Structure 1
Amino acid sequence: MLVDEAKRMLNDKILPFWENLKDDTYGGFYGWLDYELKLNKEAVKGCILNSRILWFFSNAYLTLKDEEVLSYAKHAYEFLKKYCLDSEFGGVYWSLNYDGTVFDSTKHTYNQAFAIYALSSYYDATKDEEALKIAYELYEIIETKCTDEVGYLEAFTYDFKPEENDKLSENGVIAEKTMNTLLHVFEAYTELYRVTNDEKVSERLHFMMDVFEKNVFNEELRRQEVFFDKNMNSIIDLHSYGHDIETAWLIDRGCEVLNDAELTKRMHRITSILEDQIYKVAYVDHSLLNECEKGEVNRMRVWWVQAEAVVGFLNAYEKSGEERYMEAAKDILAYIKDNVVDPREGSEWYWQLDDNHQPDTDKPIVEPWKCPYHNGRMCFEIIRRNIDVA
């Protein structure tokens, strides 16, 4: 049963693993565990990692109603409030040293968004007005310092002067705007709107959906574009399978929260195309491939891509009633259980598997990007949706 499996995965593997990474000396959570399960207590602590951990434990509490789980969310919140926030110039730093001093003072829109996402969920869990106040302060920073008339900008110095976007660069590209940042600002604002019903946030969600529809979605290729110049013109031939299936359900969630029938109809057409295309081109051998650049497919099975595929295909099933999507979600969840989950005591999920489904031993189990956000959210979404089929 899907729900039972999600609860087992959450309670037996993901939750205890991240609870064990709590740093009671310097605050927050440890930032690095290598493939051999050697913990580096003095590794850099990514602020994105801490925000995602705060989001995870807040939603674990909202899902399970376990007060002990909430204590870990409070621990992450105190670390974010004390160390991740810049009290002078505002905003969230990119990363910290193990003791909470600043390691990288870059202010990235992506990072501000994840803090809003986490603080909104933490507010929902605790009704702590201070958390909501901080979320709004970060919202105002994004809207006043990190936007232009076309969309959302990327990287800034500590005092919000624009700098090169090397944090979200890959595939040899430095982009002035990215689908990834737009998606996660959208995700954050969806959560902020869900807990506040603030009309100004609703207006920005509508704006972002227009950008997705007009600039990011490529109707001819049935995919999203990924990296853009300042005017949102695509600058690389790249199809990111994981991001497309993640975007599909996150946009549908935004439509659900906004409850705008005309908008929902418009966006469902697009998200249904994305889901169908990913099913056809990326769902291979019980799992989802990674991406395709300039016609060359990367066949690695990345942990977060598998998690988002499960949620995305469940969402597609709920929307369309097509059994192929339910079968795919069940199939990939079984693949995760049998291959992606690391059976070793004291571990969690492997980072990625090769095309023979063997783990990549060069990748750590924890680092600034490897977190409980995607796999934890997969569990929460299965439980929340409660589609309990054999």
Structure 2
Amino acid sequence: MNISVKDLQELRTRVERNLQEVILPFWLNNSIDHEHGGFWGRVNGRGRPDPQADKGLILNTRILWTFARLYRTYRQEAFARLAERAFDYLLERFWDHTFGGFYWLLSAQGQPKVELKKMYGQAFAIYALAEYAKISQNRLALQTAIDLFELMQKNHDTVQGGFWENATRDWRLAPDMRLSEKDRDCEKSMNTHLHIMEAFSNLYRVWQETGLRAQLVELVDLFHRHIFNRQTGHLHLFFDRGWQAQGAAVSYGHDIETSWLLLETSHLLDDRQLSAKTLELSLKLAETTLCQGLHENYAIYGACTDQGLVIRHLEWWTQAEAVVGFLNAFLLTRDYRFLKAAVKGWEFIERFVSDGRYGEWFYELTVDGRANAQLDKISEWKGPYH
């Protein structure tokens, strides 16, 4: 496959066109809850909100990060206004003014409904607040991110490393460690640590504190020592408190997502030896995903179960991460197999995942491109982040 600089420029143009014409209009026109404040917790495939839907921390923080990042790129005031709205609602409604940290779930009216302090959610709050601090004169954004980083130390395992998955409202270990109903009840997980690392990296870009740097080094090291499975080329997903892997399931989307996020953090730490070591791991993840995780049409599968059964339905976020991860692998290696996977993956997205009629992307579809139009375009887990 002969790919030129012109082809890469064309890919960028097509991606940006989809962002501007398909994704952003949906969020600008359909996401704002003018009745109760903030944003709707659920919006269906045609842009109709459910006024009674609960409001999740993950959705709100991802909206904040996305529109802060968009404003930094395009300098459009509409993006700044949505970021400010998300920031205000996050601090006014999600923040626990008694014990600190952010609630996991609110009612449609903005009252606390699930008071757990899930580390995954706290991480996305730090990620979003640090991004907002880059575009805002509001010092509260950065200070809240720093305060939350310090609060999270209550859930840091100072013996084995890493973080416990969940805490109660008052920051004691929660009896149920699951992130969601589909996850294992384990003390530690790949997914949470991936996004803690991502969040701490973004905070480090605006706050170069030695303790924060030390935790980033620890997090990268955990991926090398415990989370990456050198025998299979995949990531372990769940662990006990001593980092013994639980189960044999595989997540192709997280494999390819980690391939670029982990390397990004290693570069941020400005450690040549660590970056070289991480580059090797990153490319192994990309290679394994390329060889095992792709359908013949270049869509990426969702996961593989403990029993080795490939889950053949597709989700929007894995397709997006595959394009980013494979393009990153190509830029690192100039191996045109990766570039072909990125280009063909984007073609699949344009043809089947992107909804040119009602806007945004479908949540889920089959490998032959049949979308499930019944699933929401905006929900607790369906946001503008991926």
- TM-score (ref. length: structure 1): 0.92
Conservation of the 8 A alpha-carbon contact between 2:22 and 2:355? no
Structure 1 runs, 4 residues or longer, greater than 6 Å off: none
Query: SS state of the match for residue 304, structure 2?
Result: strand
Q: Tell me the residue number matched to 1:387.
A: none
- 1:186 is aligned to 2:186: no
**Closer, same or farther in 2 for the Cα pair 1:102/1:146, shift >3 Å?**
farther
Tell me the equivalent position of 2:226. 215
Aligned-partner Cα distance in 2 for 1:148–1:37: 46
Q: Tell me, what secondary structure is at the counterpart of 2:344?
A: helix
User: Which is bigger in relative contact order (C-alpha 8 A, separation at least 6)?
Assistant: 1
Alpha-carbon offset, residue 26 of structure 1: 2.1
C-alpha displacement at 1:42, in angstroms? 2.0
Alignment-derived partner of residue 371 in structure 1: 383
Aligned equivalent of 1:380 = none
Moved more, 302-311 or 320-329: 320-329
> Which structure 2 residues correspond to residues 300-319 of structure 1 after superposition, within 5 A?
300-319=313-332
Q: Given residue 242 of structure 1, which amino acid in structure 2 is its aligned partner?
A: G
1:211-235: per-residue Cα shift (whole Å, max 9, x none)? 1111101101111100111111111
Query: Among residues 323, 327, 330, which one is paired with 2:336 in the alignment?
Result: 323
Pair 1:228-2:226 in alignment? no
Unaligned segments of structure 1, at least 5 residues: 375-390
Instruction: Give the drift of 1:92.
Output: 0.5
Equivalent residue, structure 1, for 2:351: 338
Aligned letter for 1:300?
H
What amino acid is the match of 2:219?
M
Counterpart CA distance in 2 for 1:262 and 1:3 is: 32
CA distance in 2, matches of 1:155, 1:358: 36
Kindly provide the amino acid, as one letter, of the partner of residue 327 in structure 2: L
Tell me if structure 1 keeps the 8 A contact 2:299–2:345: yes
Distance (Å, rounded) in 2 between the aligned partners of 1:103 and 1:362: 26
Kept in 1, the 8 Å contact 2:41–2:379? The answer is: yes
Looking at structure 1, the residues matched to 367 and 276 of structure 2 have their Cα atoms a distance apart, in angstroms, of 38
Q: TM-score, normalised by structure 2?
A: 0.93
2:18 matches 1:4: no
Matched with 2:166 is 155
Tell me the CA shift for residue 209 of structure 1.
0.9
> Between the two proteins, what is the percent identity of the paired residues?
34
Helix, strand or coil: the match of 1:15? helix
Indicate how the Cα distance of structure 1 residues 87 and 266 shifts in structure 2: closer, same or farther if over 3 A, else same: same
Q: Aligned partner of 1:222: which letter? A: G
Aligned length: 372
Q: Which runs of 5+ in 2 are unaligned?
A: 1-9
Distance 1:251 1:127, change over 3 A: farther
| 1:218-297 equivalent positions in 2, closer than 5 A | 218-284=229-295, 285-293=297-305, 294-297=307-310
Whole-angstrom CA distance in 1 between matches of 2:367 and 2:350:
17
1:385 matched residue in structure 2: none
Query: Does the aligned pair in 2 maintain the 1:169–1:175 contact within 8 Å?
Result: no
User: Cα RMSD (Å) of the superposition?
Assistant: 1.4
The alpha-carbon deviation at position 174 of structure 1 amounts to 1.4
The whole-number CA distance in structure 2 between the counterparts of 1:26 and 1:362 is: 25
Which residue pairs with 2:211 in the alignment?
200
Structure 1 residue corresponding to 2:127, chosen from 95, 114, 117? 117
Q: Which moved more, 1:271-280 or 1:127-136?
A: 127-136
Letter in 2 for 1:370: K
Question: For 1:42 and 1:148, how far apart are their aligned partners in 2?
Answer: 42
Q: Hey, what's the Cα distance between the residues in 2 that align with 1:145 and 1:365?
A: 33
